[in-house]
Chain A
Amino acid sequence: MDKMHTSSDAEVLTLFKDGAFVADTWRDLNEDEALTGLDHVHVPLNVYLENKAELDANKGAIGLALVPGDDVDALGEDATKFASIVVEFPAFTDGRGYSYARLLRERYNYEGELRARGDILTDQVAYFFRCGFDALTVVNEATKKALQENDTGAVSIYMQPVAPSEVPVGTRPFLRRAN
């Protein structure tokens, strides 16, 4: 099961973005790693909040990793500093990340890449995109297959407005469809 040399192999690509599985140029910060000279690294929120100046001084792209229970409001407008934010979904039943995504997009004007990562089931895919995620890190085989075949079977019209990018339908004020 040595996957070390196959990370570019299409078989193990897990990052789904813009309609395809693509190579992932980001990695997570290692434990006890120095906070300088980082590039394309996702840093946990608490590490960022405690080492803001040092991390902001990096020349390379810095990303943020959020887990359920993190306080997105503590991040606030600092969100716009990041090139990528990944929100962890340790279990599909834990829906906190959907709210985090909406806050980042709608309140804190975050426009960079927003990833959902973890226990992602086929039927959640549409909800993720609606809440503002634009990338998914998927390991579930059934979900990967559905995404590859563009067959998530999602309902494509919506009874409530969420993301500003959704397109109004007809004359009823709250109806939307995917853009």
Chain B
Amino acid sequence: MYRYDEFDAAFVRQRTEQFSHQVKRRLSGELTEDQFRPLRLMNGLYLQLHAYMLRVAVPYGTLNSKQMRKLAHIARTYDRGYGHFTTRQNIQYNWPKLKDVPAILEELASVEMHAIQTSGNCIRNVTTDQFAGAAADEIIDPRPVAEIIRQWSSLHPEFSYLPRKFKIAITGAPQDRAAVKFHDIGLMATQNDAGDIGWRVFVGGGLGRTPMVAKEISDFVAHEYLLPYLEAILRVYNMYGRRDNKYKARIKILVHETGIETIREQVEAEFAEIKDGVLKLPQGELTRITEYFAAPSFEEQEQTKIDIAQFQVTDSAYARFLQNNLHPHSEEGYVSLTISLKPIGGAPGDATDKQMDAVADLAEQYSFDELRVSHEQNLVLPHVAMKDVRAIYDVLVAEGLETGNAGLISDMIACPGLDYCALANARSIPVAQAISEKFANREDEFGELKLKISGCINACGHHHVGHIGILGVEKKGTELYQITLGGDATEDATIGKILGRGVTPEEVPGALEKLLDRYIAERQSPKESFLEAYRRLGDAPFKEALYG
């Protein structure tokens, strides 16, 4: 993975000092909360319902064991013993004290981490496929380019006061696990006719109040021109994006109102001017960064497959884990292993300090010191030899991390909701817990199912792209939950459709049961997933099942 040189270290140190100084001025009363607000928001510090919340960047979701141990240490020392991994592959601490924040940032800087641009109307942490550099279906490892984008966008002087926040996602595989078409800019690796690998560029995707699937603005941008191309998009957005209404300020609205053809013309005109300028990426730099992400020294493995069937009777929990939590690896005898942060009845994405330490140990011992955070709020050991899976599983059992539910209904995305968030209209976590408890014994039967829950229309829980999405709203002082079906965050990007009137919190699990029973009854075979069945059948049978 990327390692800081002296320059990177000095950069983060200076930024940490700058922010520490700002915090001191706030604590001394020199800055009012109004004056401090824009400063703290540039550094991931939010004021939530009960306390400050600090969001720490995990660049493209990649961590080593030392960094994970530091995150555990921070949770233990400055918070209440846990952290929350987010859909943007970051980690949030929900209870830090303002006076401790400078110390936390210093601790982070000591392991090459920071909170730069995890909030504010700037370019946020670049996200990618959690299996990057490991997945069998990958065209190219997206991490070097993600790192190049991270550097280019860090404290960018022109793009730190954009109309609104700006999120970039990148995938190196045709099977999109990074939801790139739901980002302000999505990059998807592709090969042109000459056999060169470059990037398809999508612009104007997003969720929130106005969900939109991104439109393709270019079918091929070569590596060397990617930064000028991004700068051209950002400049057009910075100059023409709406600033009169924060709910219409994302680039998706600009693209929607102006039309992709006009935006493309503007971007191409800007790109033509700066294309061969100072941001053109020299091959030497690409090579240098790529070397940081060289594949680890894999060893030839005797064991090249895992026989799941033998455990189905004697150790069904382990069989489930093998069935659901392993992902094919490009190297024979290896897999990527998902550690679910969705225990039945737990808060999605939370990990305790002890669990983080345990996962760090596993990464060090079994995964070449590498860890990933997935946008589905799980942790991943990217490079695990098949022979080691059992030993890892046994440790996970001891830590309460063995849930074999990756990709199933209980592996849901849920925002923090009304329990923590100042924006929320309804609770998310209790609803998530009730659902996962309700279906704990049936989820294998349902197969692959993406359930996503948001506690308000800002859609942090990505409900628009859930195969089943749940949106909490507030009506006349009570919480009500709308159900959407058919959403899809992958390369087939689709926004789910609202099925009908909302249901009360208590009714949610029962409503899902009706929908899922109907799916089981209607599906052509157990191989037809809920999403496939929905696409074939449409709304009607599900409406009937729910509303009669």
Residues on A close to B: CB < 8 A? Answer: 68, 92-96, 98-100, 102, 107, 121, 123-124, 126-128, 130-131, 142, 153-162, 164, 169-170, 172-175
Q: A96-B238, A142-B31, A174-B152 known; A157 and B161 CB under 8 Å?
A: no
Is the beta-carbon distance between B18 and A153 smaller than 8 angstroms? Answer: yes
CB contact under 8 A between A107 and B238, given known A92-B161, A157-B7, A159-B151: no
Which B240-296 residues have C-beta < 8 A from chain A?
243, 273, 278-279, 281-282, 284-285, 288
Given A157-B14, A164-B278, 7 more A-B residue pairs with CB atoms under 8 Å apart are A96-B243, A98-B157, A123-B42, A153-B22, A155-B15, A162-B157, A170-B7
Residue of A nearest to B120 (CB): A93
Assuming the contacts A95-B159, A96-B238, A126-B157, asked whether A107 and B21 have C-beta atoms less than 8 A apart, the reply is no
Residues of A within 8 A of B243 (CB): 68, 93-94, 96
| In the complex, residue of chain A having the shortest beta-carbon distance to the beta carbon of B14 | A155
Q: Verify A175–B7 contact, CB threshold 8 A.
A: yes
Q: List 8 tightest A-B contacts by C-beta distance, closest first.
A: A95-B161, A127-B157, A130-B157, A155-B14, A159-B154, A161-B278, A98-B158, A153-B18
Do residues B151 and A93 form an inter-chain contact, with CB atoms below 8 A?
no
A contacts with B: majority SS: loop
Bound Cα distance A137, B35 (Å): 19
Q: Does B10 contact A (CB under 8 A)?
A: yes
* A175 to B152 CA separation, bound complex (whole angstroms): 9
Give the shortest distance, in Å, between A7 (CB) and chain B (any CB): 27
Set A131, A172, A174: member contacting B279, Cβ < 8 A: A174
Tier of interface size on chain B = 35 or more
Please judge, given known A-B contacts A95-B238, A99-B235, A121-B38, whether A159 and B11 are in contact too, CB under 8 Å.
yes
Contact A162 B158 (CB under 8 A): yes
Q: Measured between alpha carbons, how far is A142 from B38 in the docked complex, in Å?
A: 14
The answer on a CB contact under 8 Å between B161 and A94 is yes
The answer on a CB contact under 8 Å between A160 and B154 is yes
Do A172 and B7 have beta carbons less than 8 Å apart?
A: yes
Q: Is the beta-carbon distance between B158 and A159 smaller than 8 angstroms?
A: no
Q: What chain B residues lie within 8 Å of A102 (beta carbons)? A: 158, 235
> Residue of B at shortest CB range from A93?
B161
Chain A residues whose CB sits within 8 angstroms of the CB of B273 once the complex forms: 107
| A99 CB contact (under 8 Å) in B31, B153, B155, B238 | B238
B493 at the interface (CB under 8 A from A): no
* Interface status of B156 (Cβ within 8 A of chain A): yes
Is B391 close to A, CB under 8 A? no
A155-B18, A174-B152 known; A96 and B239 CB under 8 Å? yes
A92: B residues at CB distance < 8 A: 38, 161
With a cutoff of 8 Å between Cβ atoms, the chain B residues found around residue A68 in the complex are 243
